[in-house]
Amino acid sequence: MSAIQTRLRLARAGFTLDVDLRLPGQGVSALFGPSGCGKTTCLRAIAGLERAQGRVEINGQVWQDDATATWLPTHRRQLGYVFQEASLFPHLSVRRNMEYGLRRLPARERRVSLDQAVQLLGLAPLMERAPQTLSGGERQRVAIARALAASPHMLLMDEPLAALDAARKAEVLPYLERLQRSLDIPVLYVSHSIDEVARLAGHLVLIEQGRVRAQGPTAPMLARLDLPLAHGEGAAALVDAVVASHDATDHLLTVRFGGGELRLVSTREHAPGSRVRLRVPARDVSLSRTRAEDSTILNVLPARITQIAPDGPGQVAIALDCAGTPLLARVTRHSSEALALRVGEALFAQVKGVALAD
């Protein structure tokens, strides 16, 4: 079974990284946490750029094991590394920047062709351009393609969108999603943006002060009331669903998941049967003991309360189970007490706001 297993410890003055990661061997896993918590240090230690103590095994390949004195230097670890800044060679064209990483890679070891990387990142019109003529988003797409063209067994991405403005982030994110769907290469993605994590990651590691506080599939992690991710104005649950239909007149998209149907406004066409990821903000979920039949709210789902916790002055966070899919509601303490809400109670979740995570 493919898996990423990493146990690392690195001590510095005033800071210690001590992590034990158990991650899927494919898809996107995100290292999430506040600035200074150790995300980048962890990534650099996996790459061999920082000398930590422990063990690093990537899908059966041992890159480091102090117990057996095994240590592969960075250039022998089959990885691609994408930094915050694209760091392209200014004197080389886009094509020659991408070809640079191929020089030391025998043709028989190439798992991702140059043409495939170009197609995945939409770079065909840019190949003869100089880096200084590109936008920030275009430069970062070239940097990602350059890393992929080296046919890595793992792709490490250190906040690749942090240096971009909102428009350039919106430009690059669809290409990252395309990589996730098209390649079997595992990606370890460092970010302090929960929006990026919700959109891209299937697995989430929450790091605090150099240690792993929790790790697991992204959707359940975001709905755990014992973690800060499920609290505050930005709290939201993720729902993976299948498109049922799209009404082009009303721009109404209908999707199905284990807990029922959700409808939301979308101007984009989605083919029936295609998979989508939705974000359901906790602040847009209200609770009722009866199903309202004369309401403007389109989405009403049967649910059961699994946990209730305080969530700031006058607010409570409520975790819900909707036929196996976790949802969140954020309501006033007054409303919770007035309805005498209790763990285990069955009721209806009225979902006002739903957005496509992609």
**Model confidence at 106: pLDDT above 70:** no
Give the pLDDT of residue 292: 81
Bridge partners of 288, per DSSP, are 348
Q: How many residues does the chain have?
A: 358
Residue 105 three-state SS: coil
CA angle centred on 177, ends 174 and 182, rounded to 5°:
125
Distance, in Å, from the CA atom of 159 to the CA atom of 156, rounded to the nearest integer, reads 10
Whole-number CA gyration radius for the chain: 22
Give the pLDDT of residue 357: 76
What does the pLDDT average to over 199-215?
96
- Higher pLDDT among residues 292 and 205, named by residue: 205
User: Which strands, in side-by-side order, build the sheet including 3-12?
Assistant: 70-71, 61-65, 53-58, 3-12, 15-24, 211-217, 203-208, 28-32, 187-191, 154-158, 79-82
29-55 burial, b if ≥16 CB within 10 A, otherwise e? Answer: bbbbbeeebbbbbbbbbbbbebebebb
The domains found in the chain, sorted by start residue, are: 3-222 (3.40.50.300), 236-356 (2.40.50.100)
65: which 2 tokens? Answer: 């094991």
Average pLDDT in the chain: 92
Q: Categorize the per-residue pLDDT at 295 as very low, low, confident or very high, splitting at 50, 70 and 90.
A: confident
What does the pLDDT average to over 31-51?
95
Residue 305 three-state SS: strand
**Model confidence at 107: pLDDT above 70:** no
What does the pLDDT average to over 341-358?
90
User: Which of 292, 287, 314 is closest to 303 using CA atoms?
Assistant: 287
**Model confidence at 59: pLDDT above 70:** yes
**Model confidence at 110: pLDDT above 80:** no
Give the pLDDT of residue 178: 85
Distance, in Å, from the CA atom of 319 to the CA atom of 326, rounded to the nearest integer, reads 7
Q: Categorize the per-residue pLDDT at 104 as very low, low, confident or very high, splitting at 50, 70 and 90.
A: low
Q: What is the pLDDT of residues 227-259, one digit of tens each?
A: 999 999 999 999 999 999 999 889 999 999 999
187: which 2 tokens? Answer: 């990606």
CA distances to 41, 302, 336 from 225, in Å: 28, 20, 16
Which of 86-100, 123-137, 200-214 bottoms out in mean pLDDT, i.e. has the lowest?
A: 86-100
**Model confidence at 340: pLDDT above 80:** yes
Give the pLDDT of residue 29: 96
**Model confidence at 358: pLDDT above 80:** no
**Model confidence at 206: pLDDT above 90:** yes
**Model confidence at 207: pLDDT above 90:** yes
Percent pLDDT > 90 in the chain is: 73
**Model confidence at 226: pLDDT above 60:** yes
**Model confidence at 223: pLDDT above 80:** yes
**Model confidence at 114: pLDDT above 90:** no
**Model confidence at 1: pLDDT above 60:** no
**Model confidence at 72: pLDDT above 90:** yes
Helix axes 166-182, 114-121, angle to 10 degrees: 130
Query: Are 177 and 145 a contacting pair, CB within 8 Å?
Result: no
Give the pLDDT of residue 353: 80
Percent pLDDT > 70 in the chain is: 97
Distance, in Å, from the CA atom of 60 to the CA atom of 265, rounded to the nearest integer, reads 45
**Model confidence at 222: pLDDT above 60:** yes
Give the pLDDT of residue 124: 94
